[in-house]
Copies of this chain bind each other. A is one copy, B any other.
Amino acid sequence: MEINAANQPASGKQSRKLKAREGERIAKETLPADSLTERQKEILKITIQEFVNTATPVSSEAIVHRYRLPISPATVRNEMAELEREGYITHPHTSAGRIPSDKGYRYFVEHLMQRPTGLTRLEQNNIQHQFYQIQLDLNEWLRLAASITARTAQNAAVVSAPRAYDSRLKRLELIEVQERLTLMVVVTQDGTVREQMISLDEPHNQEKLTNISARLNTLLHSQNWGQIEVRIKEWPEDLARVVAIRLIENLRTLDQHQNAQIYRDGLTNILSQPEFSDIGRVRQVLHTLESGQAFTSIIPEMLSADNGGVQVIIGGENRNDDLRLLSVVLARYGVDGQVAGVVGIVGPTRMEYNRTISTVEYISELLSSLMNERRG
């Protein structure tokens, strides 16, 4: 039992640390590639692949048989026992086969998985087609993105609306709705359109409104909310100022994006997985995903991460308790320094990481280039 403790003291401790889950950053603990022998890697890889496909514990016999290994089940058993001691796999009860642990999946994702074999060229083209087919607005793009991602990865998809870093006014329009009610339409430099109602103290006709918006457009063009705030300091208390104040609010909420809209799709996919044969778990997961509150911490974290690539958070690595039994695969999309959002997949830890990662990667690239075309 203590044989290999001397060989990899770090690894042993690290695994315990992982389970203790301190406040680490997401997807960090890179496992050393050389902590396992080649044969152990091979067996771990097969175990994971088999388990991903069949959803049932993998026996020593199944491994040698299905993959025609030149060793006996007994040998495999010995290796598996070792892998279990190291924490890469477990078994649910004595007479059952092995199932991968979170740590096992992590090792797989980092060292064992052959990449990239996720999406075929054909699939990519199909997806691209759906996006370019119609000139949709942002809202519908994101909805579509969620839907396609979910379908492609056969799991639940999450897409966060792009959040701007530094929204600047491109154009503002005031439209009379009623005597004392006007509709303000704000277009920012990156092409986002927002509408807002403003109720006025006294009646104004369209002509007046047009004048004001023309004036504001020239005065405040390409300014962000901070600059506008400074600019209007000594303005008189007239309508122009009222509008400017609403404009500031508007740009500011755009930047902070408290109303960070999340688009979801494909809940059905994940619930049809065998791990969700238990109704209680279904309810819990559904609740988690529907409320979306699990993502309020994870998405901002992803947005501010300096590492640009795909992030994989496996089971217990999740900070959020409700996501403990699920894995999350995330990628950022957007235009550098201007706007950014997140595309993600949520599913059982037993998922095809390769395909999931490829999907999320591809969709995020696609969304990025679409966003790029939008901006001026």
> Do A185 and B193 touch across chains, with their CB atoms under 8 A apart?
yes
A175 within 8 A of B: yes
- The residues of B that contact A183 with a CB separation of less than 8 Å are 187, 191, 193
State A283–B285 Cα separation when bound (angstroms): 13
Q: How far is the CB of A313 from chain B (nearest CB, A)?
A: 23
A122 within 8 A of B: no
> Do A177 and B195 touch across chains, with their CB atoms under 8 A apart?
no
Q: Given known contacts A183-B187, A187-B185, A290-B268, is B375 in contact with A177 (CB within 8 Å)?
A: yes
> Do A282 and B271 touch across chains, with their CB atoms under 8 A apart?
yes
- The residues of B that contact A268 with a CB separation of less than 8 Å are 283, 286-287, 290-291
Identify whether the interface residues of A are mostly helix, strand, loop, or mixed: mixed
A38 within 8 A of B: no
> Do B191 and A193 touch across chains, with their CB atoms under 8 A apart?
no
- Interface stretch (choices A42-50, A57-65, A72-80, A132-140): A132-140
Look across to chain B and name the residue whose beta carbon is closest to the beta carbon of A213: B173
29 residue pairs of the A-B complex, CB under 8 angstroms, read: A139-B139, A170-B175, A171-B173, A177-B191, A177-B374, A177-B375, A177-B376, A181-B373, A183-B187, A185-B187, A193-B195, A197-B374, A267-B267, A267-B290, A268-B283, A268-B286, A268-B287, A268-B290, A268-B291, A271-B282, A271-B283, A271-B286, A272-B283, A276-B279, A277-B279, A279-B279, A279-B282, A282-B282, A286-B286
